[in-house]
Chain A
Amino acid sequence: MVTDRSQVWSPWTIDDIHAKAELGRYRIRGFSTFQKVTHFDDLTFLSTGLTRFPLEGYKEKCNTRTVLGALNAENPLVIETPIYITGMSYGALSANAKTALGKAATMVGTASCTGDGGMLQAERAASEKLIYQVLPSRYGFNPHHLAQAQAVEIVVGQGAKPGTGGMLMGVKVLDEIAEMRDLPTGIDQRSPARHPDWLGPDDLAVKIEQLREATDWSVPIHVKLGACRVTDDVKLAAKAGADGIVIDSMVAGTGASAEVLLDHSGIPTVPAIVMAREALRELGLYRKVSLIASGGIRSGADAAKALALGADAVAIGIAALIALNCNKEIPESDFMSEVGVPAGSCHHCHTGKCPVGITTQDPELMKRLDPDEGAERVANFINSMTMEMALLTRSLGKGDVHSLEPEDLAALTIEASAMAQIPLVGTNKVFGT
């Protein structure tokens, strides 16, 4: 079909070339990929009819309690909903945002997670269940903080920018952040991509044992992978002894990344879950090693579909920030004058100019986020998601979100059928098999 303008040289592409011609380097932004990829909207649930009967959608009990990392840990991570808050650093986020997320997690009986840059004491105090990340940078890593954690997460890769380390522009590396990370104030921090003390999966096995020794074998040790070569990576992580595997897809968010990585690396969440599930099944470790999916989880429907595909839990990042007011015009903000785009289109986390006080270290901007009010909104949102999951689960005739399975789903597109290994609606055909 001939159109009235070039489909290859779109206005965005032309603008991108102009920007790089001026800049002389890769461009950076926050938020998430701008690629359109197959996602949970391309799947639908097959609720009950005459072949099976539903549970009362608004009343009957539906279990959402979730146990993660029970393979080796004396104290697995037990959360009241299969949704927890993913790792986002103090530095990328303001102290108020981290505190609000920790409080929200506690309010709904779930966990929050530290991020690249060490543990913020206020988040530790707010979050009853805190996952402590072990990242390649080891910024702020403190074995005393590790010993306080309810779970440990070794970050091998991040879905938004797999194969590279974290990034925090100098405008956000203020004195306190720099001190916590042992870095010079104001530098454009580009974190290491490789761990300093181990390289391959055999070394990882020893690292996992070290963390078990450091935590007296009491808490789960999870491994977070950026979703790329999922089958092999999941098998290697499981064989190295991980109690849980977090598979973080290309749809996942970030506070700052080179655009080229955001848009041109990794694979979407739907196939990543399926590949991880099958990899664990092949090892006989499916439902023994916990599988956590992250990347673009926006609602209870997304979370329920992730569980139906094989995940034991999901982790949310951007969704929790949006619940905090990300991309919402509030009385104190003026998105157009402050970041040059309207609320709803902002992806400027890396500039530290967040008009709603979330991804900033500016003391004045930070005041725009009240941690208590923010916590309540995030808690409400997670409760809403959990209720949506339970409602869908009951409509399928089940009383436990962990009973959701691939047979509960149909694919709305051929691509989704192939990626999810689910029959296309109106057919009995699974594409790609």
Chain B
Amino acid sequence: MRALNRRLKDLAAEGAEITVTNPGARHNTGVGIFHPCKINIEGSVGYYSASMIDGPEITIHGNAGWALGENMMSGKIVLTKDAGASVASTIRGGEVFVGGNVGARAGISMKGGALIVKGNSGFLTGFMMQKGRIIVCGDAGEAVGDSMYEGEIYVAGNVGSLGNDAVVEDASEDELLDVWATLERYGIAERPTFTKIVSGKKLYHMDSLERLEKAAI
């Protein structure tokens, strides 16, 4: 893996278009690539693949393990099949598109960017999400948007349950148009209606303060 990532970084620095064959579902495929480039991975990848990247467009023709695209700064990841838990965790920018289903904690602690899931997502989707947008075209599991700070989660199918301090808000027409336009970019022509979930903001502050804490404000 060390040799593969070194080679990917070197080629990416040249702005090359790269194809990786027989990735073998190995963990940490394509970590820390900081240059704009195109990478095609012909097969499934393991945990942390395409993580900590800044700039590249990576297409993976297969499945992915946990934490696909973790802490991406910018760029684009397209996964044709399913992803495990914590897909797009902590990303600060860029887009992650998953053609299949994703596991638990999708978009956990997202700080920007977008996660688009064509299928279903597991429990705790958008847990402690801070910014950005999650679009789930199928169903979302239990506790959607638990403890989220900001950002929006759109679910077209069934919402298992809302998480702590997550609330449903009406999506405006402009917002729906924007979501549909995003889906169109990934070849999804349907225009489903969505449940929009945002923070209720009740967890922003302590319920009460001590004398000195009050004095500090």
Contacts and interface: CB of A to CB of B under 8 A. Distances in A.
B208 A23 contact: yes
Interface in B56-96: 66-67, 70-71, 73, 86, 89-90, 92
B86 A197 contact: yes
Question: Which of the four size classes fits the interface of chain B?
Answer: 35 or more
Interface stretch (B25-33, B162-170, B189-197): B25-33
A386 B217 CA distance: 41
A196 B212 contact: no
B210 A214 contact: no
Contacts of B217: 170-171
Contact of B149 (A25, A184, A210, A348): A184
A340 interface: yes
B48 A143 contact: no
Q: Please classify the interface of chain A as helix (H, G, I), strand (E, B), loop, or mixed, using the class held by over half of its residues.
A: loop
B128 interface: yes
Given A138-B71, A213-B5, A143 B52 contact: yes
A197 to B, nearest CB: 4
Given A206-B28, A209-B27, A210-B51, A25 B208 contact: yes
A197 B208 contact: no
A351 B209 CA distance: 10
B28 A171 contact: no
Contacts of B216: 169, 171, 351-353
Given A182-B92, A203-B66, A19 B210 contact: yes
B185 interface: no
Interface stretch (B16-24, B107-115, B133-141, B176-184): B107-115
Interface in B104-131: 105, 108-109, 111-112, 127-128, 130-131
Interface string B1-44: 11001100000000000000000000110011010000000000
Interface in A179-234: 181-184, 186-188, 192, 196-198, 203, 206-207, 209-210, 212-217
A212 B204 CA distance: 36
B105 A210 contact: no
Interface of A: 19, 23-25, 27-28, 137-138, 141-144, 146-147, 169-171, 181-184, 186-188, 192, 196-198, 203, 206-207, 209-210, 212-217, 339-340, 348, 350-353
Q: Closest 7 CB pairs between A and B?
A: A214-B32, A143-B52, A197-B67, A182-B111, A213-B31, A351-B216, A196-B108
B207 A24 contact: yes
Contacts of B67: 197-198
A210 B31 contact: yes
Contact of A144 (B34, B46, B89, B215): B34
A107 B149 CA distance: 40
Contacts of A143: 32, 34, 52-54, 71, 73
Given A171-B217, A213-B2, A188 B204 contact: yes
B28 A213 contact: yes
Contacts of A206: 27-28, 46-48, 66
B149 A146 contact: no
A141 B89 CA distance: 12
Task: Identify which of A137, A196, A348 gathers the most chain B CB atoms within 10 Å of its CB.
Answer: A196
Contact of A196 (B46, B53, B89, B207): B89
B83 to A, nearest CB: 12
Given A142-B73, A182-B131, A210-B48, A192 B109 contact: yes
B90 A197 contact: yes
A297 B50 CA distance: 41
Contacts of B92: 141-142, 182
Nearest to B87: A197
A137 B28 contact: no
B152 interface: no
Nearest to B107: A196
B14 to A, nearest CB: 17
Contact of B54 (A144, A171, A186): A144
Contacts of B66: 197-198, 203, 206
A207 B1 CA distance: 14
B32 to A, nearest CB: 4
B109 to A, nearest CB: 5
21 contacts: A28-B210, A143-B73, A169-B216, A170-B205, A171-B213, A182-B111, A182-B130, A183-B149, A184-B150, A186-B204, A187-B149, A196-B86, A196-B90, A197-B48, A197-B86, A206-B27, A207-B48, A210-B31, A212-B2, A213-B2, A339-B212
B31 A214 contact: yes
